[in-house]
Amino acid sequence: ARVIRGQVLSIKEQEFVQAVRAMGANSFYIIVRHVLPQTATYIIISATLAIPSFIISESVLSLIGLGIQQPDPSWGNMLSLATNASILVLQPWLVWPPALLIILTVLAFNLLGDGLRDALDPRNLQR
């Protein structure tokens, strides 16, 4: 909420918003037409770039035993089971599927966030 508030205050002081206000537009029109599109873009981009850190945090916490507990599936639990000493020696390939899925998912969300930032950035939109 603090980041969004800062973003709205920054947009509110820009010249195009002051120009619309000087032309006599009401506050609702300014919010819906100018402030909200730029803020929504920022929210979507920051959410897609924050999801990978949540995935990695959950995986690490589950790996060390502080995250999601055993009956529920998670990639951290799968890694924890695969890194057991007896399983790691006898079946080392069990580590690769959850590790690769974590890496691919984090990479996919980072690429999605970068692509959305490039596509939805109001400064890059051409009219």
| Per-residue pLDDT at 122 | 60
SS (H, E, C) the chain: CHHHHHHHHHHHCCHHHHHHHHCCCCHHHHHHHHHHHHHHHHHHHHHHHHHHHHHHHHHHHHHCCCCCCCCCCCHHHHHHHHCCHHHHHHCHHHHHHHHHHHHHHHHHHHHHHHHHHHHHCCCCCCC
Contact residues for 118 (Cβ-Cβ < 8 A; gap 6+): 124
Predicted confidence (pLDDT) per residue in 90-121, tens digit: 887 888 888 899 999 999 999 998 888 888 77
Average of pLDDT values for 18-30?
91
Extract the tokens encoding 19.
Answer: 């120009």
* Structure-derived torsion over alpha carbons of residues 89, 92, 98, 100, reported in degrees to the nearest 10: 140
Task: List, for residues 33-78, the tens digit of each pLDDT value.
Answer: 888 888 888 888 888 888 999 999 998 898 888 888 888 888 888 8
Domain boundaries, the chain: 2-120
State pTM to two decimals: 0.69
Q: How many CB atoms lie within 10 A of CB 74?
A: 19
